[in-house]
Chains A and B, each alone.
Chain A
Amino acid sequence: MDIKLVNRGSEGELFLTGRIDANNAEEMGALLLEVAQRFPNVTLNLRDLSYISSAGMLRIK
């Protein structure tokens, strides 16, 4: 999984690429939380995400 954050002022856009599975979902979730605390609005760009399991979906929720 690769993660890139683009700061657009009041919004952060997080680009997630690769795979999110049970092995890295927790790490991804922790990062999402951190980003959510920095920006009032967060956009997740999953365009280049090739795989996500329920573990990843739960963290996004």
Chain B
Amino acid sequence: MEKLTIKAKLENLNNVTEFVDSQLEQMELPMKTQMQIDLAVEEIFVNIAHYAYSPEDGMAIIEVELTEDPRVVITFIDSGKPFNPLANEDPDITQTADERKIGGLGIFMVKKSMDKVSYEYKDGHNVLTIEKKLEAITE
């Protein structure tokens, strides 16, 4: 497992994505899978950057583990305000953009693109874990 500890600020989004992508490079993933993982990483990290410590700053830890199956397990840890992003209702995507309430779209996209998403508040930390089954590009 590889770990990145970084300030939870929007300006660090690229660093976080590059860190995750570097762990997955060896897998030669299909572009679609890569994009789904990048999207999930962005949505979660941006939420932490915007809300976890606001208006103060704080740190985020991103852990990446590749399993034998193979799967990628990415865990986001912060010590900001307790917040379970999975507790809110999904946005109603049948509504038009004008009708639909703002908020919730990012985590909805994470839930749709990842195979498993889980949350716990443990020892003063928000711990959000996503999992995606991996399939390498076949020649």
| Chain B residues with a Cβ closer than 8 Å to the other chain, count | 15
CA distance A55 to B105 in the complex (A): 9
B24 within 8 Å of A (CB atoms): no
Question: What chain B residues lie within 8 Å of A1 (beta carbons)?
Answer: none
Question: What chain A residues lie within 8 Å of B85 (beta carbons)?
Answer: none
A47 within 8 Å of B (CB atoms): no
Shortest CB–CB separation between residue A27 and chain B, in angstroms? 13
User: Which residue of A is nearest B108, CB measured?
Assistant: A54
If A54-B43, A58-B102 touch, whether A21 touches B109 (CB-CB below 8 Å) is no
Shortest CB–CB separation between residue A46 and chain B, in angstroms? 14
CA distance A46 to B14 in the complex (A): 23
Contact A51 B35 (CB under 8 A): yes
